[in-house]
Structure 1
Amino acid sequence: MPRPSSFRLMTLNIAHGRGLSPYQGFHSAKSIERNLNRIAYLLRRVDADVVALQEVDEDSHWNKRIHLLNVLQERAGYEEGYLGVHNRRAGRLPLAYGNGMLTKFSIRHAEHQAFGRASLGEKGFMCAELETDHGILPVINLHLDFKSRLRRIEQVERLIKFLEEKQYTSDMKPHLSPIICGDFNARRGKRTDAVRHLFRYLVESLEYQLFPKNKSRTFPSILPTHGFDFFFIPPSYKVTDCEVLRSFVSDHRPVTLELEIPSPIDHHKQ
């Protein structure tokens, strides 16, 4: 019988490659490149199978139009990547950025949704269906609004609708249960906010677990006061480790998670 597959995942908001600076436009191209080298070094050191990144630019004036995901993919040595652009603005000061993913697995299918139509500050999510030895694994990389609690709730409802339309939450499916992660811009303990809202849906109907389990803080990275970055993990997966890393490549600290996915036979029984 096949043994469980062990995977390592990481989620990190890379803050447009600006490091700890308050604004990426203050940096030269060389400075952005140095920050990308620091992120790439972190990625190589962690050696995750799947990396979910937020605030990743494809073609933006404020970081000298450097395609951040392509640079990190090459320097960290990942086989595949996908960037879901949620903000796009043409003209003299172009913008194009969103959520990205780097992975050692083949991407069978990937798509993304923006929550609105704004050309600046728009949030959204992307979903990549990854080909693993034990089946197709959907991984959803989410970034929620940082200003409005009500908007975050609306955005979570959009994600829930997506999950149900894709039948990711159905028992009749040819794929593994999805993993959801990202920057929620909300604390886990606030009962009326987005993390608890999604948690209630996933826990009550699907018995998901939320990681990190303790009150780990991820933002800001120098002296963190809030935990904004999370993983939602299906009950059939065994989490063996979850850690918030002490890192200063961004204003967020990265969260890593190691888990085991059971063999197809075991997964079918659960």
Structure 2
Amino acid sequence: MPHSASAHPAPAHAAQPSVEPVIQHPPRKSLNLLSFNIQVGIRTQAYRHYLTRSWQHLLPHRHRNRTLDQIGRLLRQYDLVALQEVDGGSLRSGFVNQVEYLAGAGHFPYWYQQLNRNLGKLAQHSNGVLSRLEPSLVEDHPLPGLIPGRGAILIRLGQGKDALLIIVLHLALGARTQDRQLRFIRELIEDHPHVVLMGDMNNPLEHLLQRPALRGLDLISAEETLHTYPSWQPKHALDHILISPKLELRGAKVLDFSISDHRPIAMEIGLPPNLQYL
């Protein structure tokens, strides 16, 4: 899976090959997904922390890697993780690429960092993907908007007509910009039968699905509303995992894990029976 500190995929980054004998595993039938806005590892458990801990968006904190370790242990339960609000290695993160760090802490062999807003040594605003499965394709897509800095990552698992297409994204706040971004996303996915959209979408599900850009795709999510924000008293459903109707939804939940200001959202899906490669 590529790792990049720019807007373009770079050569693959993977764990070193082991000397253990190759074991033939049965075909994978399901995939455990997680989406998490980690707020660059800042612990936020009350509205006042946006003020009292705001300095951590600019300067390093000695316990930040301890927080990442805690997140990494949680991520070990999942096959593919979408990360938002991660730092790609700047002053505020102690020059630690948080996507790479979480890949190590979560024991993921494949990871990708999408750099969306480059403020040099001050901040490296990024999205990220961690995967236990090697993608057949990774594409980096800046999302349209008046202010640059939002992006989507396209990951394909498998080959051919039954391949699984996963889009990791972090949408803007404004309705007009979101409409433009969702139209862009639709162009990426509308010809594919097996699609997953996952990330911080900054909007309740009912508003998203009513947008013209998503109408007719028949995307589905959990039957119940899954509130993810604010993490200390969730009242708003801003983070979502949406799947195309040909995929089987086996379960979805919000995790009781309130380190960031968002809680992570998880989903298990059944994979297409004819999916090649996994």
TM-score (norm 2): 0.78
Q: Matches of residues 140-219 of structure 1 in structure 2 within 5 Å?
A: 140-146=167-173, 148-161=174-187, 163=188, 168-170=189-191, 177-190=194-207, 194-197=208-211, 201-202=213-214, 204=216, 206-209=217-220, 211-219=221-229
Correspondence list, 1:237-252, <5 A? 237-252=247-262
Q: Distance in 2 between matches of 1:214 and 1:132?
A: 33
Q: Distance in 2 between matches of 1:179 and 1:264?
A: 17
Structure 1 gaps of 5+ residues are 266-270
Percent identity, please.
24
1:110 corresponds to which letter in structure 2?
A: V
Structure 2: segments with no counterpart, 5+ residues? 1-25
Q: Is the Cα–Cα contact under 8 Å of residues 52 and 100 in structure 1 kept in the other structure? A: yes
Task: Identify the structure with the greater strand proportion.
Answer: 1
Q: Which has the higher helix share?
A: 1
1:107 match: secondary structure: coil
Residue 30 (structure 1) aligns with: 62
Task: After superposition, give the CA deviation of every residue in 1:193-218 in whole Å (9 maximum; x if it has no partner).
Answer: x4531xx54452x3321x23322210
CA distance in 1, matches of 2:272, 2:105: 32
| Equivalent position SS for 1:30 | coil
Match of 1:86 in 2: 116
Aligned residues: 242
Q: Would the aligned equivalents of 1:82 and 1:102 in 2 still touch at CA under 8 Å?
A: yes
Deviation (angstroms), 1:108: 2.1
Task: Report if aligned partners of 1:14, 1:53 keep a CA contact under 8 Å in 2.
Answer: yes
Contact kept in structure 1, 2:166 and 2:197, CA below 8 Å: yes
The answer for the alignment partner of 1:110 in structure 2 is 138
Q: Distance in 2 between matches of 1:25 and 1:138?
A: 33
Corresponding residue to 2:73 among 31, 41, 58:
41
1:10 to 30, 34, 41: 34
Distance 1:245 1:30 in 2: 26
> 1:264 is paired with a residue of what secondary structure?
coil
TM-superposed CA distance for 1:134, in Å, is: 9.7
Could you list the structure 1 runs, at least 4 aligned residues long, displaced by more than 4 angstroms after superposition: 116-119, 132-135, 200-203
Conserved? CA contact 1:186–1:228, under 8 Å: yes
